[in-house]
Amino acid sequence: EAGVAQSPRYKIIEKRQSVAFWCNPISGHATLYWYQQILGQGPKLLIQFQNNGVVDDSQLPKDRFSAERLKGVDSTLKIQPAKLEDSAVYLCASTARANEKLFFGSGTQLSVL
Amino acid sequence: GENVEQHPSTLSVQEGDSAVIKCTYSDSASNYFPWYKQELGKRPQLIIDIRSNVGEKKDQRIAVTLNKTAKHFSLHITETQPEDSAVYFCAAANSGSRLTFGEGTQLTVNP
């Protein structure tokens, strides 16, 4: 089966600039997650969608991060304005149901200079 | 919320030896415990998972044990091979909630 697609693979921006990431989950997967993985740490959940509704965004820095999944399929994550500490890999993942096997995309490696 | 602690942060073994990684969790309602392997520059890949109604699960050289009373679970890799070298993450979740990851263990298998 096709995996979780993410783009871009790499992104380099300067602080205070904006950036957007795109994710297309596995077909039929209702639950979509965005994780932030800082170098040397475990993935940290930013936001969880169930279809096009937000289930959990308690760890999303809402003053600068936003995410949407308008049609319940693909999703975008935006950072505006970016800070140096946002440098990380942003992983998208999907699953058919919560607490089932999580399939990760290849991630977007963001460097904020 | 859930808090997952993982030990050790680094582990070096000789090829053929066993490796054990341990995790503890804080939320007694957690009932799903997966383990992920992440090679350098690649995505995390699920290697084994266990649910709270099971105490142990094996898949070839990999096994996971769960002690719900003590709120800890462990990954056991036997007959380690150089290709087992990677970062391993444990995680925990309860029904419908976020998957909380540990900080990872860098496993190095020396030939």
**pLDDT reading at A72 higher than 70:** yes
What's the pLDDT at B96? 65
Q: With an 8 Å Cβ cutoff, are A104 and B95 in contact?
A: no
Query: Distance (Å) from the C-alpha of residue A85 to the closest C-alpha of chain B?
Result: 18
Q: With an 8 Å Cβ cutoff, are A91 and B49 in contact?
A: no
What's the pLDDT at A84? 97
Query: Residues B97-106: pLDDT tens digits?
Result: 678 999 999 9
**pLDDT reading at A2 higher than 90:** no
Query: Residues A7-29: pLDDT tens digits?
Result: 999 999 999 999 999 999 999 99
CA-CA-CA-CA dihedral for B93, A78, A7, A54, to nearest 10: 40
Query: Distance (Å) from the C-alpha of residue A71 to the closest C-alpha of chain B?
Result: 21
| Chain B contact for A102 (CB, 8 A cutoff) | yes
Q: What is the mean pLDDT of residues A49-67?
A: 93
Nearest by CB to residue B96, choosing from A42, A91, A98, is A98
- C-alpha to C-alpha distances, A65 to A34, A58, A76, A78, A113, nearest whole angstrom: 11, 12, 11, 6, 18
What's the pLDDT at A1? 55
